[in-house]
Structure 1
Amino acid sequence: MDMLTGVILAGGANRRMKGELKGLLPLGGQPLIVRQVACMSQLCDEMIVVTNDPNPYLRILDRSVRIITDFFADHGPLGGMHAALSLAKNPSVWIVGCDMPFISCKAAELLLQRKQDGFEAAIPFVGGELQILHGIYDRICLSHLSKLLEKGENTVSSLLGHVFWSELADSYLRENGVPLNFISKIKTVDDYEALLQLGL
């Protein structure tokens, strides 16, 4: 299986979190992003965090984690994906958001297998939606991203019109032992407090 680069997108204004950085939220005694890095490192031999402010992450992440900033500032996840694919050393890149507490290495393995059937990207289709931030992307997607960003696009979905991609259905993931909560995101303070109620 190809070597894999893991990427956590940690940009955004966090307005619905009252300005708190989601990646630094404590879960199970660790900042969320530290948990994510530990999980992804089981599968990835390179880890990258993309953020507009590296300082908070430099203090808590291992030096082996590369912390980079966007080339195209203020272009949301698309700008972060562009920066990551520009600098990743591996051809396959697993990209997640910093607000996802239950990311799944097993899902990523299955997505990587699907990508290796000749696709430029493999993306989970769970709960009736494509989960673009938990997909595996080939570095070749960079040329598409550059063109979109130069046109001023910043929605991740705009990428899918230009990339040869495949989905993995939730039924397939479930049959292969993947709990579907890997798509969960912390969007608001209420979401975070609900997680804490679960004893995390």
Structure 2
Amino acid sequence: MEETGTAIILAGGLSTRMGFSKEALLINGERLLYSLHDTLRRRFEQIIVVSNTLEDSEKRMLEVVRDELVGLGPLGGIHAGLKTAKSRYSYVLACDMPYLNMDYVSFLQGRLPPPDQEISALVTALGCHMEPFNGFYNRSLVDPIRVFAATGQKSLTAFLRSQSAVLVDEDTARRFSPDWSMFANINTPADMLALTGSLATKGGRTHDRD
């Protein structure tokens, strides 16, 4: 498999603000999880869904893995996905991000180093913060995540800083998504109403990723 042949979708569990698991989100009558999976399938050979709650019938249709490091949130999900990944770098996003931008995915793939070089991760800067999803992660992070978690920490952004993740600058990223919608996620029923009420309304918030 090529260097970037794997994509990981973090499906998570129950969302207290939504009142149900985000992996069940429907957009125009279609499961967002399935829509993302189908879109990514056109680019990636392996699509891994990280979920502790999907039904057995769905597991037969998808490649599903469960968290091994329980209680770490997104960091634990990335760990589980990377352990199963067949390629060196995996594209990572969450199942509640409706505005997948494949042009930006292609751009990120082009920014990854050649096989004789290596980075830990490639994500995007937003001011002094970072967007940990819609980025690429190196399979070599499996053991560092375990070590980091053993210290009692579970912040994904803190982990990325500890691993010297490479950042795409905000101005460059905004050329692909001026309104930053490619990083938006659905956190609340209001976000969902904004999205389903008008696809021109870019619902969701970012930074809710630790």
Bin the TM-score by the shorter chain.
Answer: 0.7 to 0.9
* 1:68-119 Cα distance to aligned partner (Å, 9 max, x none): 1000112101110111111111111011111100122221222222222642
Give the whole-Å Cα distance in 1 for the aligned partners of 2:67 and 2:97: 20
Other-structure match for 2:112: 115
Matched, 1:154 2:154: yes
- For 1:194, the aligned partner's letter is A
Give the whole-Å Cα distance in 1 for the aligned partners of 2:177 and 2:44: 18
Q: How does 1:1-200 map to 2 (within 5 A)?
A: 2-18=3-19, 20-55=20-55, 58-60=56-58, 63=61, 65-116=62-113, 118-126=118-126, 129-175=129-175, 177-178=176-177, 180-199=180-199
Runs of 4+ in structure 1 displaced over 4 angstroms?
none
Residue 149 of structure 2 aligns to a residue in which SS?
helix
Q: Quickly say closer, same or farther: Cα 1:61–1:36, change in 2 above 3 A.
A: farther
Give the whole-Å Cα distance in 2 for the aligned partners of 1:161 and 1:3: 22
Q: Quickly say closer, same or farther: Cα 1:103–1:53, change in 2 above 3 A.
A: same
Q: Answer yes or no: is the 8 Å Cα contact 1:71–1:83 preserved in 2.
A: yes
Give the whole-Å Cα distance in 1 for the aligned partners of 2:168 and 2:30: 31
Provide the alpha-carbon RMSD of the alignment: 2.1
Length, aligned pairs only: 195
Give the whole-Å Cα distance in 2 for the aligned partners of 1:126 and 1:106: 19
* 1:116-136 Cα distance to aligned partner (Å, 9 max, x none): 264221102246631101110
Q: Answer yes or no: is the 8 Å Cα contact 2:12–2:22 preserved in 1.
A: no
Q: Answer yes or no: is the 8 Å Cα contact 2:14–2:22 preserved in 1.
A: no
Q: Quickly say closer, same or farther: Cα 1:126–1:39, change in 2 above 3 A.
A: farther
Give the whole-Å Cα distance in 2 for the aligned partners of 1:93 and 1:25: 24
Give the whole-Å Cα distance in 1 for the aligned partners of 2:60 and 2:102: 20
Q: Quickly say closer, same or farther: Cα 1:34–1:121, change in 2 above 3 A.
A: same
- For 2:142, the aligned partner's letter is L
Residue 48 of structure 2 aligns to a residue in which SS?
strand
CA apart distance, 1:61: 7.0
* 1:8-67 Cα distance to aligned partner (Å, 9 max, x none): 11113300001x222222113310101111121122110011111121xx545772x310
Give the whole-Å Cα distance in 2 for the aligned partners of 1:129 and 1:162: 14
Q: Name the % identity.
A: 24
**Any unmatched runs of 5+ in structure 1?**
none
When normalised by structure 1's length, the TM-score is: 0.88
